Structure 1
C-alpha cells in the first residue's frame, strides 16, 4: 500500500469512522452563519411583490407610489430585466418577473430595493397592479385529459407522458384495484430563501447564496443579467436545509438585478409565508393501480395510471415523471406491466424536486396495493413481498437488470424478526394526543404495517452527471496539509465530512481543509438524488489518487514528504463520471435509465385513538443496504431524517390549496414532525458493496423517505380497519369514517 506520508490509513479519521462534523456544534449552539446572516455596511434590502391570484392577465403596473417613498432606491419590473426574460431548470419557461400574465399565486411581479427591510416591504405593497382575472386550471386530471381545458403553459398542459409497456398477459386469478392520492408536501427547511448580491468593479456581480447547485444557478442567472458566466460568481453561503427546494432559483436573479441597478450590495431574505410561495413543493399525485396475481400471491401483472401536478412551470417535472414511471411497480418481479405516468401544468403552486421525487408517490400506491393483494391471497404483508422480491439479476419494468446486490427478501425477513415494542404505556406522553389528555387508553388500538421502497441514486436517463474536485497538498509550517475544493453544496447532509474522510483515507494526512464551495472550480452537480457521496466523493477520491501518485514518484529517490513539498505544493483536478445511462423509450419505457438502485424496508407500529383520529407512531424499524458505510453516525442521521419526512407525509404535512390558493403558508398551520412525534428507531444497516461505486457505497439519504410513509399508513389501516387511500391521513379520515369490524 503506497501512501504519501507513510502513515497507516487507519491512523487517521477516515472512511468508515464516525467523525464529528465541524459545523455540528455551531449549528446546535446557534453560532453557525447562515445566508440570512450575511451583512455588508451600506447594503440595501430587497423585497418582492407577488401576485395574489393564481391566474390573471396583467393590465397595468404603476410603480410611481413606491418610487416616491423615502429610502427607496429602485423599483423594477419585467421591462428592467437586462437579458433573457425566462429561466428554468430543464425548460426556460419561467419569467424572471411576470410579463403579461400570472400563472400561480405568488408569482413575482416587481422588485424593490430600499435602505430598510420594512421600507422595502411597504414600497412593494404600494405598487399598484391591475389584474384581469381568468379561470384557474387547478385539477391536473382535467389538465391532462380534457381537450377543452384552457392551456396553462405555452408547451400545452402535459409536461411529459411516459408509458411503460412490458408483456401482454393482463388476466389473473386474483385482482385488486385501488385509487390513491398523495398531498402536496413542503420541504419545510428551517432557513428561508436568502442571499446577498454584491456589484463588482468589472461590471459583474458576486452572489452569496444558499443553493443546491451553484453552476446551474450560474447558468440560469448570467443570461438573465445579460452577462457572461465568468462575471457572475457564486459562493455557497450557509444553508439551512434544502431537500430539493433549492434546486430551482428563488431570489438569485432578483437580488443581482437590484444590486446592478443600484450599484450597492442587496440582501433579500424571505419571511416564512413568502418562503411557501418562493420555492417548489412535492408533486401531489393521483394514482390508479391494478395488480393481478396467482392464487399463491405471485404477481402476474401491474397496471397503473399516475398523474402528477407540476403546477405552473416545468422545473424538474420531466425527471419526476420518469422516476414515477420507471419505479412504478416497486422492487418486485413482474413480467407484465402497463404504466402511464403524466406530469401536468396547472395554476397551482409550482412543484419540483423533493426528497425521493416521483418514487415517493408511486411507492405509497404500490405498497398499499401489496397489502390489499396480501389480504386477497390470505398471506401476511411480509410473505407477499418476499414471494415477489427482486434480487440481483432481476429486471425492472424498464428492462434494466439489477446488477448489484439486492437482498430484499433477506431484508424483509430480518425486519419481521426484530423484536416488537412493548405494550402501550399509561404515560400520557406516550398516548395519542399526548399531554392534552384526550385519552387514558380507551379507544386506542395498535397497528403494525410494512413498507418497501426502491430509489434510483444519481441522475438518470442519459444526463451527463459528473463532479469535479481539486486537491492540493502543501506544507503549512512543517506539517503536510490537504486542501479540497469542490462546488458541491453542503446542505446539512454531512458532505463536508465525507470529503474530509476520503482525503484522509487516500492521502494518510490528518490535516484537511475544505475550501468554501464556489464557481471558481468545476461543477459538482446538485446536492440531490443522494448523489454527492457517490459523485463528489468519487471526484475527491480520484483527485487524491492522482496527487498520491505524483507524490510517490517524487519520493522515489528516498526523499521525505516534507522535502518534496518544500519544492512547492502538489495539486490535481479531476472529474468523476458514473457509468452511462440512457433515456427511457418514449413508447415502451424501456432503457437502462438508472445509475444505481437502493433498497430500504420499514416496519411501523402505531397506536390510534379511533374515536378522535389521533395517531401516535410507537416505533419505526428499518433495514437498509448502504453498500459501504462512510460515516456511521451521519448515516444513521440520514435514515432518521428521511424516516421523519416520510412520517410527516403519512400523518400531517400538506400544503392546503383551494382554487389555486395556498391556505396554510405558515408553520402554525403547516405541521411538521417534532421530536415528540418521532418515535425510537430500530436500525439494521447492511453493507453489500456496489462494485461500480466509489468504495462500494450506495446513496442513502432518500430511500427511507419512500418506505416509511406506506409502512405508517399500513399500520394505521391495521389499527382502524379503514381503507385510508390518501396521505396525509387526517384525524377526520379516521374519526368521521364508519369503521369496519376489526
Structure 2
C-alpha cells in the first residue's frame, strides 16, 4: 500500500538537520553561474596545450575516394593530422548500444557534418586553416531521407554487411529497431465503437540547444594513458567506448567531469572525446577541443523527428474502446539510443489512459539525416503530441468537455499498461487534470479599451510591433502525459556512491563521491541534502565526479535523484551503522541505551529515539574515519517481448498535466503564450525549489517544440539548413509565459523517500497543450509541430 500524500517514505534519520531532504536548499554553483565565474569545460587551460579541430563532411552521403593531408601538415604550427587510417588499433567504431559509429569516417560519409579528419595545432585558428587545406575527393551517393526511400527495394543500405543484435526482428536493414505491442482484440473493439477518429501527426527534429558547446581537454600521462577532462552526461559510458578505440585498458583512461553548460540528452553520445585523446597521444601534448555554435549543431544527436498514425475508438458514453498506432522515428545515420527511444515511444504510446485493446508498432530508421538519440522526454514526447490531439478529437466527436473525457478514461493505481505491466504506485492523472483546470485563469486583455496604452510585449509578435490587438483571439488547451523514470527493458540500472565521515577541526564532515554528471539539474545539492538527513551532520563536501569511483549511470531518464540519490542514501546508511558499531564498542558498556535504544545521528551527535544525547560524533570517530563505497540498484525490469511487447519494462512512471492559455493573431499567424500552468506528482519534493525549476524548465522546452524549435533538413540533399541560433530559434525570456506550478506529493513506496523523477514529464504535455489552445482559438487541425505562422494563415 502506498503512503498518503506528503509522507516521506524511509525518512527516519536526521530529519531535523538543517538543509536536509524536503527543504529548498540553494545550489552551491548557482551564484557562480549567474555571475559568470563558474568554470565550464570550455574554460579549461593547460600551459603547453595544443588546439584540436575537426574536418567535417560537406555531403550527407558520399564515397571517400582519397584524402590528401600533405598541405595541412606543411602549415607552420601544425603538429598532427589524423584520418581513419591513423587509428591505433583494430577497434575503430563505438556506440551507446550498437557499435556502428566510426571514430573517423571510413570509406564513406553518412551524414552532413560527419567527422573525416583531425588537426592539432598551436593555435585554434591555425588548426582551422589547416583543416580547410585537407583535400578530400568525394563521390556523392543517393541519399536516404524517409521511410519510403529507406525501405524501397533498391534502397542503398546505410550499413551494408554489419550485423547487430536487432537484425532478427526488423523487416529491412535500414530499420534500426522495431517494437510491436499487442494486447486485447482491436478488431472486435472496433466493431463496438460508436465513434472512431484517425489522425496523421508529425514532430520536427528538435535540438537540445544547450548553451555550453561541446568541449574538453585531453592530457597524455607518463604511464602511456590519458587524463580527459570533459563535459558529458555519463563518464563511465564514455570510458567504455573510448578505451577500446585508443587501444588502452580502461584504467589508463582517467576521466573527470568538467563544468557542463546544459545537456538534455545531447551529451549522452560521444562528441570529441576520442578525437582529443587521439591527438594528445599522437603529439604527446595536452589537446583542447571546443566546438563553436555552428559545429555544435553537427557534433551531437538531436530529438528524433517522427511521423505517427493513430486510430482511437470510443463508445457514446465516452469510454475508449481501442487504439491502433504506427510510429516512425528517424534515427539518422547511426543507431545512438534509437532502440531505447523506440521502446519508450511504443510502450508509452497510449498515454495515461486505460485502453484494453491496442495494436502498436514503432520503428526507427537509418537515414542520411543527422543522427538522433536522447533528448528530454526520449520517445514519449512524440507520442504525447499525437495521443493528446486524439483525445481532443474524440471529445469533440462525443460533444464532451476535453478534460472530463480525459478524466473518465484516466488510469489510476492498479491500472494495466499496454505492455501488461501494472502501475503499482499512485497515478493521479484525473486529480492532476482537476487541479490544473481549477487554477485561476489569467485575466482577459481589453486591447481596444479607450485610452489604454498597449504594451506590445504582451501581444503576439512582441517587440516586433506587428499588432496592437486587431484580430487577436484567445484559446485554452489541456494535455496530460506519462513518462517512465530510469533505464528500462532489463538494463542493469545501478549507481555507486562513496561516503566518508570524518572529523575535521573537531567537527564531523561527510564527503560524498559519485560519478554523477551535474549538468544543471541540481544533483550535487540533493546529495548533500541526503547526507545531512541520513548522517545528521551540517557540513557535507561533494567530491568532483570522475572515474575513480564506480559508475553513476547517465544523467538522463529523470533517474539521478532516484538512482544515485538512492546510492548515496544506501551508502550513508552503511556509514551510520558503522559509526554506531564503533560507538557501541567504545561506550556501550557505560550506558545501556547504546544497546537498547533506537540510535540516531542528529546535529553531529548520537542520540536515542527519545532525544537523549549519548556522545558527540567526534568522540565516536576520534581519529578514525569511516569510508564506504556501495552500489545500489532499483527493482529489476525485463525486456519487452519482441513480438507482443509484453513485459514489466519500466521502473516507475511520472505524470504531469498542463493548461495552456494563448493569444493568436489570426491575420499574421503570430502566437503569444500567456500562461502554461502545470500540475505534477513528484512523490516527494526532495528540494522544492529545484523541483519547481525543473518543471518550469521542462515546460519551456516543450513550448519551444510547439512553436519554434526545429532543425530543418533539406529533403533532397539531407543537409542541415539552419545550424545557428540565428536560424534555430529557442524561447527567450520574452517568449516564456507565466508558469504556475501545483506540486502533488504521493509517495511511491518503491522509491527512496517516495520520490519520483521530475525533469522530463512536463516536457511532454506542454507541447500538446499549447497546440490544443491554438486549435481552439483558430479552429485549425494543426497536426504538426512546431506550428509556424504559415500554418495559421494558409500562406
Match of 2:529 in 1: 501
Alignment partners' CA distance in 2, 1:162 and 1:220: 26
Match of 1:522 in 2: 550
Cα pair 1:284 1:308 within 8 Å, conserved? yes
- In structure 2, the CA distance between the partners of 1:7 and 1:600, relative to structure 1 (3 Å rule), is closer
Alignment partners' CA distance in 1, 2:696 and 2:642: 37
Match of 1:678 in 2: 736
Match of 1:664 in 2: 722
3-state SS of 1:245 partner:
coil
3-state SS of 1:657 partner:
coil
- In structure 2, the CA distance between the partners of 1:7 and 1:101, relative to structure 1 (3 Å rule), is closer
3-state SS of 2:466 partner:
coil
Among candidates 133, 137, 140, match of residue 144 of structure 2: 137
Between 1:146-155 and 1:399-408, the stretch displaced more is: 146-155
3-state SS of 1:240 partner:
coil
1:467 aligns with 2:495: yes
Among candidates 458, 478, 497, match of residue 506 of structure 2: 478
Among candidates 183, 186, 189, match of residue 166 of structure 1: 183
Match of 1:561 in 2: 617
Cα pair 1:166 1:336 within 8 Å, conserved? yes
Match of 2:634 in 1: 578
Superposed CA RMSD in Å reads 1.1
Alignment partners' CA distance in 2, 1:148 and 1:178: 30
1:634 aligns with 2:651: no
Quote the offset at 1:7 in angstroms: 9.7
Alignment partners' CA distance in 2, 1:546 and 1:75: 51
Cα pair 1:198 1:259 within 8 Å, conserved? yes
Match of 1:44 in 2: 50
Deviation sequence 1:560-588 (CA, Å, 0-9, x none): 42133223210111111010101111111
Quote the offset at 1:683 in angstroms: 1.2
Alignment partners' CA distance in 1, 2:459 and 2:180: 45
Match of 1:189 in 2: 210
Match of 2:648 in 1: 592
Match of 2:758 in 1: 700
Alignment partners' CA distance in 2, 1:427 and 1:175: 45
Match of 2:518 in 1: 490
Match of 1:76 in 2: 82
Cα pair 1:67 1:123 within 8 Å, conserved? yes
3-state SS of 1:467 partner:
strand
Alignment partners' CA distance in 1, 2:122 and 2:564: 40
Question: What is the correspondence of 1:370-409 to structure 2 with a 5 Å cutoff?
Answer: 370-409=391-430
Cα pair 2:302 2:375 within 8 Å, conserved? yes
Among candidates 234, 239, 256, match of residue 255 of structure 2: 234
1:337 aligns with 2:344: no
Match of 1:62 in 2: 68
Match of 1:740 in 2: none
3-state SS of 1:66 partner:
helix
3-state SS of 2:697 partner:
helix
Cα pair 1:140 1:308 within 8 Å, conserved? no
Alignment partners' CA distance in 2, 1:600 and 1:410: 10
Quote the offset at 1:436 in angstroms: 2.1
Alignment partners' CA distance in 1, 2:710 and 2:381: 15
Alignment partners' CA distance in 2, 1:574 and 1:604: 44
Deviation sequence 1:580-637 (CA, Å, 0-9, x none): 1011111111100000000000000000001111000000111100000100111100
Match of 1:623 in 2: 679
Question: What is the correspondence of 1:1-20 to structure 2 with a 5 Å cutoff?
Answer: 9-20=15-26
Alignment partners' CA distance in 1, 2:733 and 2:153: 48
Among candidates 117, 125, 131, match of residue 110 of structure 1: 117
Please, which runs of 5 or more residues in structure 2 have no aligned partner?
1-11, 163-172, 448-453, 588-614
3-state SS of 2:740 partner:
strand
Deviation sequence 1:26-85 (CA, Å, 0-9, x none): 000000000000000010000000000000000000000000000000000011111211
Match of 2:780 in 1: 722
Among candidates 322, 327, 335, match of residue 348 of structure 2: 327
Alignment partners' CA distance in 2, 1:678 and 1:402: 34
- In structure 2, the CA distance between the partners of 1:8 and 1:458, relative to structure 1 (3 Å rule), is closer
Match of 2:593 in 1: none
Alignment partners' CA distance in 2, 1:297 and 1:7: 48
Cα pair 1:601 1:624 within 8 Å, conserved? yes
Match of 2:165 in 1: none
Runs of 4+ deviating beyond 6 Å: none
Cα pair 2:427 2:655 within 8 Å, conserved? yes
- Give the TM-score, by structure 1 length: 0.98
Quote the offset at 1:328 in angstroms: 0.5
Alignment partners' CA distance in 1, 2:306 and 2:709: 14
Question: What is the correspondence of 1:315-464 to structure 2 with a 5 Å cutoff?
Answer: 315-424=336-445, 426-464=454-492
Quote the offset at 1:381 in angstroms: 1.0
Quote the offset at 1:418 in angstroms: 1.4
3-state SS of 1:401 partner:
coil
Alignment partners' CA distance in 1, 2:28 and 2:681: 27
- Give the TM-score, by structure 2 length: 0.91
Alignment partners' CA distance in 2, 1:630 and 1:419: 27
Quote the offset at 1:8 in angstroms: 5.1
Match of 2:611 in 1: none
Quote the offset at 1:141 in angstroms: 4.3
Alignment partners' CA distance in 1, 2:463 and 2:64: 51
Alignment partners' CA distance in 1, 2:620 and 2:57: 62
Deviation sequence 1:251-288 (CA, Å, 0-9, x none): 00000000000000000000000000000000000001
3-state SS of 2:753 partner:
helix
Alignment partners' CA distance in 1, 2:76 and 2:562: 52
Alignment partners' CA distance in 1, 2:311 and 2:62: 40
3-state SS of 1:695 partner:
coil
Quote the offset at 1:703 in angstroms: 0.1
Alignment partners' CA distance in 2, 1:560 and 1:446: 63
Alignment partners' CA distance in 2, 1:88 and 1:428: 49
Match of 2:596 in 1: none
Alignment partners' CA distance in 2, 1:561 and 1:647: 50
Deviation sequence 1:78-130 (CA, Å, 0-9, x none): 11111211000001000000110000000000000000000000000100000
Alignment partners' CA distance in 2, 1:431 and 1:223: 56
Match of 2:31 in 1: 25
Question: What is the correspondence of 1:200-239 to structure 2 with a 5 Å cutoff?
Answer: 200-239=221-260
Deviation sequence 1:163-202 (CA, Å, 0-9, x none): 0111112331100000000000000000000000000000
Match of 2:748 in 1: 690
Cα pair 1:450 1:601 within 8 Å, conserved? yes
Aligned residue pairs, count? 731
3-state SS of 2:279 partner:
helix
Cα pair 2:181 2:644 within 8 Å, conserved? yes
